Structure 1
Amino acid sequence: MLHEVNFPSFNERDTVYGWIYVPAAEPKGIVQLIHGFGEHSRRYLHMISTFVEEGYIVAADDHVGHGKTALENNTWGDWGDKGFHTMMEDEHRLHDLTVKMYPDLPYFLFGHSMGSFIVRDYITKYGDELAGVTICGTLGVWPNLKENLDYLQKLMDDGKGKEADPLVPAKMMGWMFRRCPEGASIGNEWICADPFVQKDHAADPFDAFSRPCLNQSFYYFGQMMEYITGEEWAKKVPAGLPIYNIAGDQDPVGQFGTGVMQTTNWLIDTGHDVETMLYPGYRHEIHNYRDLKEIVEDGILDFMDEHLTKEEE
Structure 2
Amino acid sequence: MHHESFWLTASDSTEFHVNHWSPTQEPDAIVMLVHGMAEHSKRYAHLGAALAKAGIALYALDLRGHGFTASFGVKGHFGDHNSWKLALDDIRCLNHHIRQQHHEKPIFIFGHSLGSYLVIDYLLQYCCSVQGAILSSSIYIQSTLRYRLALLVARLERWRLGKQGRSKLLHWLIYNRYQRAFKPRKTAHDWLSSDEEQVKLYAQDPLCGFVSTTQLWVDLLNGLRRITPINNLVQIDNLLPILIFGGEQDPIHQGHRLLDLANAFRESGNRFVDVKLYPDMRHEPLNEKNSQRVMQDIIEWIKHNVRQD
Instruction: Give, as a single letter, the amino acid of the residue that structure 2 aligns with 1:151.
Output: V
Q: C-alpha displacement at 1:189, in angstroms?
A: 1.2
Kindly indicate whether the alpha-carbon contact (under 8 Å) linking 1:20 and 1:98 is maintained by their aligned counterparts in 2.
no
Task: Give aligned pairs, total.
Answer: 304
Which deviates more from structure 2 when the two are superposed, residues 298-307 or residues 227-236? 227-236
Report the equivalent of 1:295: 293
Paired residue secondary structure (2:168): coil
Q: C-alpha displacement at 1:35, in angstroms?
A: 0.9
Paired residue secondary structure (1:246): strand
Kindly indicate whether the alpha-carbon contact (under 8 Å) linking 2:95 and 2:129 is maintained by their aligned counterparts in 1.
no
CA distance in 2 between counterparts of 1:213 and 1:248 reads 24
Kindly indicate whether the alpha-carbon contact (under 8 Å) linking 1:243 and 1:275 is maintained by their aligned counterparts in 2.
yes
* 1:148 equivalenced with 2:150 (yes/no): yes
Query: TM-score, normalised on structure 1?
Result: 0.91
CA distance in 1 between counterparts of 2:281 and 2:21 reads 29
Kindly indicate whether the alpha-carbon contact (under 8 Å) linking 2:84 and 2:219 is maintained by their aligned counterparts in 1.
yes
CA distance in 1 between counterparts of 2:41 and 2:83 reads 22
Kindly indicate whether the alpha-carbon contact (under 8 Å) linking 1:39 and 1:67 is maintained by their aligned counterparts in 2.
yes
CA distance in 2 between counterparts of 1:125 and 1:103 reads 21
Paired residue secondary structure (2:207): coil
Paired residue secondary structure (1:47): helix
Q: C-alpha displacement at 1:53, in angstroms?
A: 1.0
Q: C-alpha displacement at 1:171, in angstroms?
A: 1.9
Report the equivalent of 2:261: 263
Paired residue secondary structure (1:148): helix
Instruction: Give, as a single letter, the amino acid of the residue that structure 1 aligns with 2:58.
Output: V
Deviations 1:108-127 (A, max 9, x none): 01111111111111111111
Paired residue secondary structure (2:84): coil
CA distance in 2 between counterparts of 1:199 and 1:218 reads 26
Report the equivalent of 1:195: 196
Report the equivalent of 2:251: 252
Gap regions ≥5 residues in structure 1: none
Kindly indicate whether the alpha-carbon contact (under 8 Å) linking 2:158 and 2:165 is maintained by their aligned counterparts in 1.
no
Kindly indicate whether the alpha-carbon contact (under 8 Å) linking 2:22 and 2:48 is maintained by their aligned counterparts in 1.
no
Which deviates more from structure 2 when the two are superposed, residues 80-89 or residues 139-148? 139-148
Residues 234-249 of structure 1 mapped to structure 2, 5 A cutoff:
234-249=233-248
Report the equivalent of 1:39: 39
* 1:214 equivalenced with 2:216 (yes/no): no
Change (3 A) 1:7 1:26: closer
Change (3 A) 1:173 1:225: farther
Kindly indicate whether the alpha-carbon contact (under 8 Å) linking 2:30 and 2:105 is maintained by their aligned counterparts in 1.
yes
Report the equivalent of 1:127: 127
CA distance in 2 between counterparts of 1:99 and 1:128 reads 12
CA distance in 2 between counterparts of 1:77 and 1:167 reads 16
CA distance in 2 between counterparts of 1:176 and 1:235 reads 31
Q: C-alpha displacement at 1:269, in angstroms?
A: 1.2
Q: Once superposed, which parts of structure 1, at least 4 consecutive aligned residues long, lie more than 4 Å away? A: none
Query: TM-score, normalised on structure 2?
Result: 0.93
Residues 55-94 of structure 1 mapped to structure 2, 5 A cutoff:
55-70=55-70, 72-80=71-79, 81-94=81-94
Report the equivalent of 2:305: 307
CA distance in 2 between counterparts of 1:233 and 1:169 reads 29
CA distance in 2 between counterparts of 1:180 and 1:236 reads 38
Q: C-alpha displacement at 1:83, in angstroms?
A: 3.1
Deviations 1:13-59 (A, max 9, x none): 63111122221123111111211110011111111100011111211
CA distance in 2 between counterparts of 1:144 and 1:205 reads 32
Paired residue secondary structure (1:97): helix
Kindly indicate whether the alpha-carbon contact (under 8 Å) linking 1:135 and 1:244 is maintained by their aligned counterparts in 2.
yes
Kindly indicate whether the alpha-carbon contact (under 8 Å) linking 2:249 and 2:282 is maintained by their aligned counterparts in 1.
yes
CA distance in 2 between counterparts of 1:131 and 1:54 reads 18
Gap regions ≥5 residues in structure 2: none
Paired residue secondary structure (1:84): helix
Identity of aligned residues (%): 23
CA RMSD of aligned residues (A): 1.8
CA distance in 1 between counterparts of 2:115 and 2:165 reads 24
Which deviates more from structure 2 when the two are superposed, residues 155-164 or residues 58-67? 155-164
Paired residue secondary structure (2:26): coil
Instruction: Give, as a single letter, the amino acid of the residue that structure 2 aligns with 1:169.
Output: H
Instruction: Give, as a single letter, the amino acid of the residue that structure 2 aligns with 1:84.
Output: W
Q: C-alpha displacement at 1:231, in angstroms?
A: 1.4
CA distance in 2 between counterparts of 1:128 and 1:201 reads 35
Paired residue secondary structure (1:144): helix
Q: C-alpha displacement at 1:143, in angstroms?
A: 8.6
Paired residue secondary structure (2:246): strand
Kindly indicate whether the alpha-carbon contact (under 8 Å) linking 2:19 and 2:41 is maintained by their aligned counterparts in 1.
no
Instruction: Give, as a single letter, the amino acid of the residue that structure 2 aligns with 1:300.
Output: I
CA distance in 1 between counterparts of 2:4 and 2:97 reads 11
Kindly indicate whether the alpha-carbon contact (under 8 Å) linking 1:178 and 1:252 is maintained by their aligned counterparts in 2.
no
